[in-house]
Every structure is written in structure tokens, then in C-alpha cells.
């Protein structure tokens, strides 16, 4: 299960629980509808930033990040060179170059997958550790603002800025014990 599915599952669970717990008019009767980017809310907390910084400061992870960046830059440089000079190369040189570039692209993808896996592990850890706090803060926001419906921000086709409670969620998560 990828991290996006986990986040959507959590948002649905939190929103459903909070909706059932809240009283008031339904959204069809003019109730308040808001959007929330739960992943961003969690990743922008002080706790998450500290853990991400700690991860980035780990020697192995830091080296992997540097390798990903270097491979990305080298791939870009190779692509620019190929676009510029490739048409003038012999078929053999062009084929060798394409093969080398493909090997480098695969290396880049492998390194990028390692980075993503580490980040996803951290996100899962954060989601698990912050679950009670997130639930409590979301329920309080729903109660305080008389919210009837909370949608995942990415699921909304349109939402006015005033309907986004992500920043409020971050602030309250940082203040919560």
C-alpha cells in the first residue's frame, strides 16, 4: 500500500469519525464544508520537520540524496548534449551513448526509490505516532468551527482559500501536548 493510499484512508477515517461526532445541520442545509491536506499538515509540524532533518543528517541517507542529485544533473547534462550533438554522431556512438544514458537513468531511478522508501517509512512512523493528536485536533476544529464536512484537499475540484483548514491544523498540532 503506497503512502498516498494510507493518507487517504486516514483522512477518510478521521473525517468520518469527526462527522459522526459533530452535531449541526447537514452540508445540504448550508453547513460548513472545508478541505484539509492531511499529509502536508503532518509533514509541516515541528515534530515532522525535526525527524526529517534528522533523517537528512544521517550519513547514509545524506549520501543517497547527494547521489540522486548528482545523477539527476548528469542525466540532464547528457540529454542536453545528446539533443545538441547527437544528430552529428555516428550510429555506433549514438547507440553506445543511449545505452550508457539508459544505465544511468536506471541507477537514478533506483537511488530515487531508496530515498522515497525512507521518506515513506518516516511518514508512516509519523502518521502512527501522531494519529491520536491528529484525531483530537481535527475533532476540536470541527467542533469549534461547526464544520459539517471535511474533504481531502486533493479530492476537491475547487475550494476557496478560506475553506482550507490545513494551516490551522498545523498550528494546532504544533501547540497540542
Q: What is the DSSP string of the chain?
A: --HHHHHHHHHHHHHHHHHHH--S--GGGT-EEEEE-HHHHHHTSHHHHHHHHHHHHSHHHHHHHHHHHHHHHHHHHHHHHHHHHGGGS-HHHHHHHHHHHHHHHHHHHHHHHHHHHHHHHHHHHHHHHHHHHHHHHHHHHHHHHTEEEEEEGGG-S---GGGB-HHHHHHHHHH--
pLDDT tens readout for residues 72-129: 999 999 999 999 999 999 999 999 999 999 999 999 999 999 999 999 999 899 989 9
**Confidence at residue 159, expressed as pLDDT on a 0 to 100 scale:** 87
Rounded to the nearest angstrom, the gap between the alpha carbon of residue 148 and the centroid of all alpha carbons in its chain is 26
CB contact at 8 A, 61 and 55:
yes
- The torsion angles phi and psi of 152, rounded to 5 degrees, stand at -65, 130
Does residue 173 register a pLDDT over 90? yes
Does residue 8 register a pLDDT over 80? no
Look-up of cell digits 497540542: 176
* Reported confidence tier of residue 19, pLDDT bands at 50, 70, 90: very low
CB contact at 8 A, 47 and 16:
no
Q: What is the DSSP string of 105-145?
A: HHHHHHHHHHHHHHHHHHHHHHHHHHHHHHHHHHHHHHHHH
pLDDT tens readout for residues 132-164: 999 999 999 999 999 999 999 998 889 889 999
pLDDT tens readout for residues 26-54: 444 567 999 999 999 999 999 999 999 99
Amino acid at each position: 500500500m503506497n503512502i498516498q493510499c494510507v493518507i487517504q484512508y486516514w483522512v477518510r477515517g478521521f473525517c468520518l469519525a469527526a462527522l459522526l461526532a459533530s452535531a449541526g445541520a447537514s452540508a445540504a442545509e448550508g453547513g460548513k464544508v472545508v478541505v484539509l491536506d492531511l499529509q502536508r499538515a503532518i509533514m509541516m509540524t515541528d515534530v515532522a520537520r525535526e525527524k526529517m532533518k534528522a533523517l537528512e543528517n544521517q550519513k547514509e541517507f545524506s549520501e543517497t540524496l547527494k547521489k540522486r542529485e548528482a545523477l539527476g544533473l548528469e542525466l540532464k547534462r547528457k540529454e542536453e548534449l545528446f539533443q545538441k550533438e547527437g544528430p552529428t554522431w555516428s550510429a555506433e556512438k549514438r547507440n553506445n551513448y543511449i545505452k550508457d544514458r539508459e544505465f544511468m537513468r536506471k541507477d537514478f531511478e533506483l537511488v530515487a526509490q531508496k530515498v522515497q522508501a525512507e521518506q515513506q517509512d518516516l511518514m508512516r512512523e509519523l502518521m502512527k505516532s501522531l494519529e491520536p493528536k491528529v484525531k483530537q485536533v481535527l475533532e476540536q476544529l470541527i467542533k469549534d468551527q461547526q464544520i459539517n464536512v471535511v474533504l481531502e484537499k486533493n479530492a476537491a475540484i475547487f475550494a476557496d482559500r478560506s475553506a482550507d483548514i490545513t494551516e490551522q491544523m498545523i498550528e494546532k498540532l504544533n501547540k497540542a501536548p
